[in-house]
Amino acid sequence: MRVLIYSDIHANWEALQAVHEATAGRYDASVCLGDVVGYGANPNEAVAWVRATTPDVIRGNHDRACAGLHGLEWFNQSAATAARWTHARLEEGATDWLNALPAGPVRWHELSLVHGSPLNEDEYLIDPAQAAGVFAATTEASHWFGHTHVQGGFALADDQVIVLGDARPEADSEGGHTVLQLQPGARYLLNPGSVGQPRDGDWRAAFALLDEEAGRVEFHRIPYDLSSAQARILEAGLPPQLARRLAKGK
Ligand code: ZN
């Protein structure tokens, strides 16, 4: 089965549309690792697309915050402002759907799906020492996570944790992707990157395609209509830095 794995859309409609167009007909199932809303200007459209295409969605911290205003004390000012803005504009059905999303980790086929870390849904998995702790505390061969907005993740092979941060395609390779061939006996913590607000220095929308039988992961980056997404944020009266950071991928 070919699986589209994506995360951290953050109500960026232009980025989500680019992913939609780039992946049409290329997958049999899709899973979403959370943060459908928050920061961007099109929360209802993002929720509608994810609901229509992806039965299995894990909740993110921004989904919780925007739907129920839980956990705002952990947010910086612009994130909290965006969460309140989103909360006020979410349609009732969208709010109910967000509130009902399950916390990770959730088992899906042979995969473990989570927003932050398998040990704590709100933890940012950033460094190899954290990854080593997760590998030691769990038994699954593959976890998929989001939350950091950094494409790649970690592998455990021969008791060594390897950072897969170089998994990203080159910034100038339009529509390009890199391939990770999963090795028997190795274990993985994999991050598809963020669709709508990348923070790994590459502004392009990120997602991953997994071929389960072949054990093959493609990490994709694709350009999207950045200026339109920025204009919508500014027109909505959301904090301007949320528009600026999209161009930097930070
Ligand atoms: Zn996020």
Among 112-121, 167-176, 224-233, which stretch is predicted with the lowest mean pLDDT? Answer: 167-176
- Sheet-wide strand order for 56-57: 56-57, 29-32, 2-6, 205-211, 216-222, 177-181
- Domain of residue 176 covers 2-130+137-145+163-212+229-248
In the reported structure, the alpha carbon of residue 8 is separated from the centroid of ligand 1 by a whole-number distance in angstroms of 5
In the reported structure, the alpha carbon of residue 148 is separated from the centroid of ligand 1 by a whole-number distance in angstroms of 7
Domain count of the fold of the chain: 1
In the reported structure, the alpha carbon of residue 35 is separated from the centroid of ligand 1 by a whole-number distance in angstroms of 5
In the reported structure, the alpha carbon of residue 156 is separated from the centroid of ligand 1 by a whole-number distance in angstroms of 25
Q: Who has greater pLDDT, 41 or 177?
A: 41
Asked if residue 157 belongs to a domain, the reply is no
Q: Are the C-beta atoms of residues 108 and 58 closer than 8 Å to each other?
A: no
Phi, psi of 193 (to 5 degrees): 85, 180
> Is pLDDT at 239 greater than 80 in this prediction?
yes
In the reported structure, the alpha carbon of residue 62 is separated from the centroid of ligand 1 by a whole-number distance in angstroms of 7
Asked if residue 152 belongs to a domain, the reply is no
Asked if residue 202 belongs to a domain, the reply is yes
Mean pLDDT within 76-102: 96
Mean per-residue pLDDT of the chain: 94
Residues of the chain above pLDDT 70, percent: 96
Asked if residue 167 belongs to a domain, the reply is yes
Asked if residue 191 belongs to a domain, the reply is yes
In the reported structure, the alpha carbon of residue 145 is separated from the centroid of ligand 1 by a whole-number distance in angstroms of 11
Within a 10 A sphere around the Cβ of 234, how many other Cβ atoms? Answer: 14
In the reported structure, the alpha carbon of residue 141 is separated from the centroid of ligand 1 by a whole-number distance in angstroms of 24
Q: Who has greater pLDDT, 170 or 45?
A: 45
Asked if residue 224 belongs to a domain, the reply is no
Asked if residue 151 belongs to a domain, the reply is no
Q: Are the C-beta atoms of residues 16 and 40 closer than 8 Å to each other?
A: no
In the reported structure, the alpha carbon of residue 64 is separated from the centroid of ligand 1 by a whole-number distance in angstroms of 11
Asked if residue 175 belongs to a domain, the reply is yes
What pLDDT sits at residue 168?
Answer: 60
In the reported structure, the alpha carbon of residue 135 is separated from the centroid of ligand 1 by a whole-number distance in angstroms of 23
In the reported structure, the alpha carbon of residue 199 is separated from the centroid of ligand 1 by a whole-number distance in angstroms of 10
Cα three-residue angle 188-144-13, rounded to 5 degrees: 145
Which CATH number covers residue 119? Answer: 3.60.21.10
In the reported structure, the alpha carbon of residue 47 is separated from the centroid of ligand 1 by a whole-number distance in angstroms of 14
* Alpha carbons 6 and 16: distance in angstroms, whole number: 10
